[in-house]
Structure 1
């Protein structure tokens, strides 16, 4: 198995990121393309530590729920770009979620049981921080339990030491909420995931998150009704005005699968809302570097303001992929 190695120094990665923050898409200038190569190397090099964390997550999660869904993903270029713009002092090498893996449980109790297991069990890697967005939901309604670790390598993998990986633990209801936000944001061309866009849609999803909280008996989203009747009434009004059910049902797409690899591990998903089309490219485990390279190339060609999106993810198979990324 050939994994991407680090080809540049930290200052070079951070310098490339600063240039990216000033660049509009599609990327076509020589300086920006060179910077993109540097950034892609940083992101691609996370594949080895991410794979290590994902294997551990899968083994540990199955101790608590055999049917748990586990997947991993590399952060999208536009998400990196947005974070660099919003946080002027952010350095690429300090970004905690360039690589992430998640476990999706049917029961909330298993989320917390696994989180405690991580914190109390010996682990070869350095704990950085945790954020409980379930007990303390974000104002937009986002819920998940985050654990961030810093990879600690052995003699042969010491080059990857210091790279950070984010582990997300959530329930199926919380995951359905998050993927619905992404889907509506994608098709309405709004950054709802970043709490930007139409106020009615933002309010609708905040209320829906509080409805999920009522089911799971967790704290509701700040500034949303605490009583059931008021919550249901406001949700119903917004759902009707937004035609939420009709809109979500209308987002049917055709799926085109490229690559004949039956033992595929990595998948590039390209979504074109205007064409109503999803293109799925498949790569074997040994093709990690090729997958990352093509991923960056496809992303760099998306025009500014386009609703087209590309994401590189990993799952056990197509069925697991659909469970992990239903949107």
Structure 2
């Protein structure tokens, strides 16, 4: 209970928040899937968006559970870390269902029930050591939730230069039955400089009307090159990579 109190303030507040977050899925996964397909083919209607809204809301409770799980590990390693959670906005979900594919060639076949980041939790720590220790601690933890996927973008950065560690949790995956069994929550672990980089990308997208974050294939290659180089410099500063003086000089040119 002390972990809940550190997040919500008092036991009463903690219980109230958890109870408020227990929004159950009122439709079958197949109905949700068909609603997503309907939005892509026919556009948004009151009927299909109602199902998507319920599916989105049903992620809140498992999101709170995963955030609390992560918080327990953070307290021991990086008590000053920042942790935040969010449900993906409905317009963003709809956009992912209806927009062109990233490569601009293949048909969009995105299925809403396969989206793994409708519920998302983000942790920002000071440095590489804390980042790796928290990730290792989570790897070794015994929990009812299954780590469905773990990607270390420090080893293999994205095309844009994005770095960080992503973990996908399948809630209550080890339970035989549970009302929220199978809901997936994405956890992002970032060092402070990595978060600064990612925030800068979002600001450029907003101010310049770019698509660096959502569709790098369609973005200005000059921006992509700039942020990739910036990412390398910051990774060198954090100790994830080591750039020689010659490499640094070449990148500055």
Indicate the TM-score class for this superposition, using the shorter chain for normalisation. 0.7 to 0.9
After TM superposition, which residue ranges in structure 1, 4 or more long, deviate above 6 angstroms?
Answer: none
Which residues of structure 1 form unaligned runs of 5+? 234-327
For each residue in 1:86-137, what CA deviation from the matched residue of structure 2 results, as whole angstroms up to 9, or x when unmatched?
A: 3733321121111110110001111111111111121111121100011110
- From 57, 68, 91, give the equivalent of 1:44: 57
* Paired position in structure 2 for 1:150: 170
Which residues of structure 2 form unaligned runs of 5+? 1-18, 102-106
Pair 165,132 (structure 1): closer, same or farther in 2 beyond 3 Å: same
Paired residues of 1:135 and 1:219 also in contact (CA < 8 A): no
In the alignment, is residue 63 of structure 1 matched against residue 63 of structure 2?
Answer: no
| RMSD across aligned positions (CA) | 2.3
Greater fraction helix: 2
* Paired position in structure 2 for 1:114: 134
Greater fraction strand: 1
SS of alignment partner, residue 131 of structure 1: strand
SS of alignment partner, residue 149 of structure 1: strand
SS of alignment partner, residue 213 of structure 2: helix
The alpha-carbon deviation at position 147 of structure 1 amounts to 1.0
Q: Would you say how many aligned residue pairs link Structure 1 and Structure 2? A: 222
* Paired position in structure 1 for 2:240: 218
Question: Matches of 2:252 and 2:75 in 1, distance apart?
Answer: 36
In the alignment, is residue 15 of structure 1 matched against residue 37 of structure 2?
Answer: no
TM-score by length of structure 1 reads 0.63
* Paired position in structure 2 for 1:312: none
For each residue in 1:227-271, what CA deviation from the matched residue of structure 2 results, as whole angstroms up to 9, or x when unmatched?
A: 0001122xxxxxxxxxxxxxxxxxxxxxxxxxxxxxxxxxxxxxx
The alpha-carbon deviation at position 82 of structure 1 amounts to 4.3
SS of alignment partner, residue 67 of structure 1: coil
TM-score by length of structure 2 reads 0.80
1:289-308 equivalence runs, <5 A? none
Pair 23,114 (structure 1): closer, same or farther in 2 beyond 3 Å: farther
Paired residues of 1:50 and 1:99 also in contact (CA < 8 A): yes
In the alignment, is residue 104 of structure 1 matched against residue 124 of structure 2?
Answer: yes
Higher relative contact order (CA 8 A, sep 6+): 1
The alpha-carbon deviation at position 76 of structure 1 amounts to 2.9
In the alignment, is residue 54 of structure 1 matched against residue 74 of structure 2?
Answer: no
For each residue in 1:270-320, what CA deviation from the matched residue of structure 2 results, as whole angstroms up to 9, or x when unmatched?
A: xxxxxxxxxxxxxxxxxxxxxxxxxxxxxxxxxxxxxxxxxxxxxxxxxxx
* Paired position in structure 1 for 2:13: none
Pair 219,138 (structure 1): closer, same or farther in 2 beyond 3 Å: farther
SS of alignment partner, residue 158 of structure 1: coil
